[in-house]
Amino acid sequence: MFQALLLEKTDAGFRAGVRPVSEEQLPEGDVLVRVTHSTLNYKDALAITNKGPVVRAWPMVAGIDGAGVVIESSHPAWEEGDRFIHNGWGVGESRWGCLAQKARLKGDWLVGLPSVFTAHQAMAIGTAGYTAMLCVLALERHGVKPGDGEVLVTGATGGVGSVATALLSKLGYRVTGATGKLAEADYLIRLGAAAVIDRAELAVPGKPLQKERWAAVIDAVGSHTLANALAQTRYGGVVAACGLAQGSDLPATVMPFILRGITLAGIDSVMAPLALREQAWERLARDLDAAKLASMIEDVHLEDAVARAHDLIQGKLRGRVVVTMA
Average pLDDT over residues 189-202: 97
**pLDDT single digits (tens) 235-292:** 999 999 999 999 999 999 999 999 999 999 999 999 999 999 999 999 999 999 999 9
pTM recorded for the entire structure: 0.93
Single out the residue of 292, 278, 270, 209 nearest to residue 43, CA to CA.
270
Q: What is the pLDDT of residue 11?
A: 87
Note whether 323 and 302 are within 8 A (CB): yes
Question: pLDDT per residue over 295-305, tens digit each?
Answer: 999 999 999 99
113 contacts 122 by C-beta, under 8 angstroms: yes
Average pLDDT over residues 11-17: 92
pLDDT at 10 (0 to 100) = 87
Which of 229-264 are b and which e, b meaning 16 or more Cβ less than 10 Å from the residue's Cβ? bbbbbbeebbbbbbbbbbeeeeebeeebeeebebbb
User: In the chain, which residues fall in CATH 3.40.50.720?
Assistant: 127-266
Q: What is the mean pLDDT of residues 195-207?
A: 97
pLDDT of residue 88: 93
Q: What is the pLDDT of residues 20-52, one digit of tens each?
A: 999 999 999 999 999 999 999 999 999 999 998
Give me the mean pLDDT over the 71-99 stretch.
97
Domain(s) labelled CATH 3.90.180.10 in the chain stretch across 2-113+289-324
Dist. CA 285–CA 63, nearest whole Å:
23
- Indicate the CATH number for domain 2-113+289-324: 3.90.180.10
Query: Region 225-232: what's the mean pLDDT?
Result: 98
The domain 127-266 having CATH identifier 3.20.20.450: the answer here is no
Average pLDDT over residues 71-97: 97
Residue 315 pLDDT greater than 90, yes or no: no
Rounded Cα gap, residues 165 and 194, in angstroms: 10
CB atoms closer than 10 angstroms to residue 143:
11
What one-character-per-residue DSSP string does 222-283 give? BHHHHHHHHHHEEEEEEEEE---SSBS-----SHHHHHH--EEEE---SS--HHHHHHHHHH
Query: Cα 36 vs. chain centroid, distance in angstroms?
Result: 19
Q: What is the DSSP string of 11-48?
A: TTEEEEEEEEE-GGGSPP-SEEEEEEEEE--HHHHHHH
Angle between helices 42-49 and 305-313 (to 10 degrees): 110
Q: Is residue 326 pLDDT above 80, yes or no?
A: no
pLDDT at 180 over 90: yes
